[in-house]
Structure 1
Amino acid sequence: MAVSVENMSASAHPFGPQGRGLAGVGVRRLFGIPGGGANLEMIEVAALRDIDFTLTHTESAACVTAGVFGLLTHTVGVALVTRGPGLTSAANGLGQATLDRAPLLLLSDCVPADQRTRVGHQRLDQRAVAAPLTIWNGVLGYRDPAGTVAAAARLAAGPPPGAVQLDVDPGVPGDNPPAPAAPTGVDGAALHRATAIAAGRRRPVVVLGVAAPPSAAVLRRALDRVRVPVLTTYQALGTVDATGPQAAGLFTNAALERPLLAQADLVVGVGLDGVEPMPGPWPYAAPVVLLAPTAGDGAYYGEPTVVAGPPGTTLPAVLAATDPRWSADAGRRHREARLAELAAGPRGGGLHPVDLAHAVRDVAGAARITVDAGAHMLAAMPFWPATRPHQVLISNGLATMGYALPAAIGAALAHPGRRGFCLVGDGGLGMALAELETLARLALPVTVVVFDDAALSLIEVKQRAGQGGTGAVRYGRVDFAGVATAMGVPAAVADDLAGVRAALAGVDGGPFLLDARVDPSGYRHLLEVSRGP
Structure 2
Amino acid sequence: MGGPTTSRALADALAEGLRDAGAERIFGVPGGGPNLDMIGAAAERGIDFVLTHGETAACIAASTYGRLTGTPGVAVVTRGPGLTSAANGLAQATLDRAPLLLISDTVTAASADRTAHQRLDQVGAATPLTKWSGTLGHTDPKDVVTAAARLALEAPAGAVHLAFDPTTPGDAPPAPSPRSTVDPQDLATARKLVTASRHPVVIVGVDAVREGAALREALAGLDCPVLVTYEAKGVVPESWPTFAGLFTGAALERPLLERADLVLGVGLDPVEPMPGPWPGDAAVVLVHTHPVETGYFGDPLLLVGPYATLLPALVGAAAPEWPSGAGSTANAATLHRLGEHPATPNGALTPLDVVRTARGSLGDALLTVDAGAHMLVTMPVWATNGPDPVLISNGLATMGFALPAAIGAALARPGRRVACLTGDGGLGMAMAEIETLARLALDVTVVVFNDAALTLIALKQRAAQGGAPAITYRATDFAAVAVAMGVRGVVVDDIDGLRRALASSARGPLVVDARIDPASYRHVIRTIRG
TM-score, normalized by the shorter chain, greater than 0.5: yes
What SS does the aligned partner of 1:199 have? helix
Say which of 190, 196, 205 aligns to 2:186: 190
What SS does the aligned partner of 2:143 have? helix
Contact 1:159–1:181 (Cα < 8 Å) also in 2: no
The Cα offsets for residues 432-458 of structure 1, whole Å up to 9 and x where unpaired, read as 000001111111110100000000111
Q: Distance in 2 between matches of 1:15 and 1:238?
A: 39
Does 1:465 find its partner at 2:429?
no
Q: Which amino acid aligns with 2:485?
A: M
Q: Distance in 2 between matches of 1:390 and 1:91?
A: 27
The Cα offsets for residues 451-507 of structure 1, whole Å up to 9 and x where unpaired, read as 000001111111112211111111110111111110111100000001101111125
Q: Which residue of 2 aligns with 1:413?
A: 411
Q: Which amino acid aligns with 1:398?
A: L
Does 1:308 find its partner at 2:268?
no
The Cα offsets for residues 249-307 of structure 1, whole Å up to 9 and x where unpaired, read as 00011111000000000001000001000011113211111000112211110111000
Contact 2:205–2:267 (Cα < 8 Å) also in 1: yes
Contact 1:356–1:497 (Cα < 8 Å) also in 2: yes
Q: Which residue of 2 aligns with 1:4?
A: none
Does 1:219 find its partner at 2:204?
no
Q: Distance in 1 between matches of 2:295 and 2:387?
A: 26
Q: Which amino acid aligns with 1:486?
A: A
Q: Distance in 2 between matches of 1:161 and 1:182?
A: 15
What SS does the aligned partner of 1:283 have? coil
Q: Distance in 2 between matches of 1:335 and 1:181?
A: 39
The offset of 1:14, in angstroms, is 5.1
Does 1:355 find its partner at 2:359?
no
The offset of 1:322, in angstroms, is 3.3
Mark the runs of 5 or more structure 1 residues left unpaired by the alignment: 1-11
Q: Which amino acid aligns with 1:36?
A: G
- Please give the residue correspondences for 1:173-188 in structure 2 after superposition, counting only pairs within 5 Å: 173-188=169-184
Q: Which residue of 2 aligns with 1:450?
A: 448
Q: Which residue of 2 aligns with 1:490?
A: 488
Does 1:144 find its partner at 2:140?
yes
Does 1:503 find its partner at 2:501?
yes
What number of residue pairs does the alignment pair up? 521
Say which of 264, 268, 272 aligns to 1:268: 264
The offset of 1:13, in angstroms, is 4.9
Q: Distance in 1 between matches of 2:343 and 2:457?
A: 20
- Please give the residue correspondences for 1:383-398 in structure 2 after superposition, counting only pairs within 5 Å: 383-398=381-396
Q: Distance in 1 between matches of 2:206 and 2:117?
A: 41
What SS does the aligned partner of 1:75 have? coil
Say which of 123, 129, 153 aligns to 1:127: 123
Q: Which amino acid aligns with 2:512?
A: L
What SS does the aligned partner of 2:79 have? coil
The Cα offsets for residues 339-359 of structure 1, whole Å up to 9 and x where unpaired, read as 111011112121010011000
Does 1:259 find its partner at 2:228?
no
Range with bigger deviation, 129-138 or 322-331: 322-331
Range with bigger deviation, 183-192 or 230-239: 183-192
CA RMSD of aligned residues (A): 1.2
Contact 1:185–1:310 (Cα < 8 Å) also in 2: no
What SS does the aligned partner of 2:368 have? strand
Q: Distance in 2 between matches of 1:183 and 1:332?
A: 37
Say which of 437, 440, 454 aligns to 2:438: 440
Q: Which residue of 2 aligns with 1:36?
A: 32
Say which of 108, 111, 118 aligns to 2:114: 118
- Please give the residue correspondences for 1:89-108 in structure 2 after superposition, counting only pairs within 5 Å: 89-108=85-104
Range with bigger deviation, 512-521 or 224-233: 224-233
Range with bigger deviation, 503-512 or 16-25: 503-512
What SS does the aligned partner of 1:138 have? strand
The offset of 1:314, in angstroms, is 1.6
Q: Distance in 1 between matches of 2:271 and 2:154?
A: 16
Q: Distance in 2 between matches of 1:529 and 1:374?
A: 16
Contact 2:232–2:389 (Cα < 8 Å) also in 1: no
Q: 1:99 to 1:442 in 2, by over 3 A?
A: same
Q: Percent identity of the aligned residues?
A: 57
The Cα offsets for residues 303-330 of structure 1, whole Å up to 9 and x where unpaired, read as 1100001122222222333331102200
Normalised by the size of structure 1, how large is the TM-score? 0.96
Range with bigger deviation, 167-176 or 504-513: 504-513
Does 1:15 find its partner at 2:20?
no
Q: Which residue of 2 aligns with 1:518?
A: 516
Q: Distance in 2 between matches of 1:425 and 1:22?
A: 35
The Cα offsets for residues 200-256 of structure 1, whole Å up to 9 and x where unpaired, read as 110000000001122222222222222110000011111111132000000011111
Q: Distance in 2 between matches of 1:34 and 1:255?
A: 46
Q: Which residue of 2 aligns with 1:330?
A: 326
Q: Which amino acid aligns with 2:425?
A: G
What SS does the aligned partner of 2:117 have? coil
Contact 1:95–1:163 (Cα < 8 Å) also in 2: yes
Say which of 234, 239, 243 aligns to 2:239: 243
Say which of 194, 210, 217 aligns to 2:206: 210
Q: Which residue of 2 aligns with 1:9?
A: none
Q: Distance in 2 between matches of 1:410 and 1:187?
A: 40
Q: Distance in 1 between matches of 2:232 and 2:475?
A: 35
The offset of 1:397, in angstroms, is 0.4
Contact 2:448–2:513 (Cα < 8 Å) also in 1: yes
Contact 1:437–1:487 (Cα < 8 Å) also in 2: yes
Q: Distance in 2 between matches of 1:457 and 1:230?
A: 31
What SS does the aligned partner of 2:404 have? helix
Does 1:366 find its partner at 2:364?
yes
The offset of 1:379, in angstroms, is 1.3
Range with bigger deviation, 235-244 or 150-159: 235-244
What SS does the aligned partner of 1:198 have? helix
Q: Which amino acid aligns with 1:477?
A: A
